[in-house]
Amino acid sequence: MKVRLFKPSVGTDELESIQDSFNSAWLGLGPKVIEFERQWSEYIGSKESVGVNSCTAALHLALSAYRFPEGKKVLVPALTFAATAMAALYNRLIPVFVDIDPVTLGISLEDLERKVDKDCVAVMPVHFGGHPVPMDDLVSWAKAHGLKVIEDCAHSAGGLYKGKALGTWGDIGCFSFEEKKCMTTGDGGMISSDDPELLKPLRPARWIGINKDTWERYEDYQLGNPDANSWYYEISDIGYKYNMNDLMASIGLVQLKKLDGMNRRREDILRQYIAGIQDLDYIKPAFPYHLQDSSYWAYMVRVQDRERFITHMKENGVATGVHYLPLPMQPLFMKYASETPVASAVWRELVTLPLFPDLTQEEIEYVNACVHSYMD
């Protein structure tokens, strides 16, 4: 048997929604993006959302909204995808790498206190693997230090922490809809906030800085605006080609309706996985999975002799991954490195195993059986 690591859960509903966009002959930034933004805001309980083409773009624009002076510092976890720290560099800010909590693998509140200084302007917590950072404590800490909170929810969509949606605890929440994540638009991302004025400049920023996108100009034409200069637009600030398009949004509108069900399915699979390893001493869950109202993107474990384990699983047809090499170990970020001993130690044990809603019962049992046979 061969078992994939990730697989998007898409079908005829998504195809029909894409066909609708084909029939309308509007594939770019248009009405479906606007509707997806509205439905997403309603779903998480946020006042405003802006659709973009990736969470990387979302993080970049979220930090840009504050126009922090060049050279200021942003606190980011050492163990995360590169985009979290790249967002700081894109904005000519300095990433300060903070160690992780040894239990949750999220950003360490204790190390935050050690690393913060007068030049820090923001903190970017990451819900690593979908496991929530204790946002009540983090937000309280950030406010006490006058820091903005950009919540990196690339690994979590639809999850709650203490009854409140992840991505709505901070000043801005950034989400990923890349094909492997909790829900997908193929690629894609979203920026959400309860401060519409804060996000207002990000709409032109995602569209080359143009203050009136193509759909707005088309609507003017359709409404019979007699002004021959309705084509006119202005560019007052730098912008990027970061927009979501209607093809992405057509998938997203369907996936959003399925999101809760997909997250509950992942919870069911994770319960079976965790029960399957509870009596083994050579492998443990990466963090304390809380399988209620969750949005775990990945099944991560800590295992002894990782390379041997990965080879064993590969020989049995089970795909694995490693998420991630700590960023201070990457050449680009080495000059920003600081002491992050927990991240440096823990990542060497981490392995990601197959998790997606369409896993069959046979595949789940096969993965567990392969894990058990590792030490035979």
Instruction: Report how far residue 12's alpha carbon sits from residue 280's, in angstroms, rounded to the nearest whole number.
Output: 41
With a cut of 70, say whether residue 118 has pLDDT above it. yes
pLDDT > 70: what percent of the chain?
95
Report the alpha-carbon distance of residue 101 to residue 23 in Å, rounded: 50
Enclosing H/E stretch for 301 = strand 299-303
Tokens of 32: 């479906």
Strand partners, 352: 300, 321
Domains present along the chain, CATH in parentheses? 12-206+242-373 (3.40.640.10)
First-residue to last-residue Cα distance in the chain = 19
User: pLDDT at residue 182 above 80?
Assistant: yes
pLDDT band at 177 (very low <50, low <70, confident <90, very high): very high
The string of pLDDT tens digits covering residues 303-346 is 989 999 999 999 999 999 999 999 999 999 999 999 999 999 99
Say how far apart CA 3 and CA 7 lie, in whole Å. 10
- In whole angstroms, give the CA distance from residue 333 to residue 345: 18
Given a cut of 80, is residue 200 above it in pLDDT? yes
Tokens representing residue 161 in the block: 């922490």
| Cα-to-chain-centroid distance, residue 40 | 14
What per-residue confidence (pLDDT) applies to 129? Answer: 97
Give per-residue pLDDT as tens, 273-303: 999 999 999 999 999 999 999 999 999 999 9
What pLDDT, on the 0 to 100 scale, is given for residue 304?
86
Share of the chain above pLDDT 90, in %: 91
Side-chain half-sphere CA neighbours of 13 within 13 A: 11
Of 95, 94, 149, 96, which Cα lies nearest the Cα of 127?
A: 149
Give the sign of the dihedral formed by CA 95, CA 101, CA 102, CA 106. negative
The pairs formed by 269-274 with CB atoms below 8 angstroms and a separation of 24 or more are: 269/299, 269/355, 269/357, 269/359, 269/364, 270/296, 270/299, 270/355, 272/364, 272/365, 272/368, 273/299, 273/353, 273/355, 273/364, 273/367, 273/368
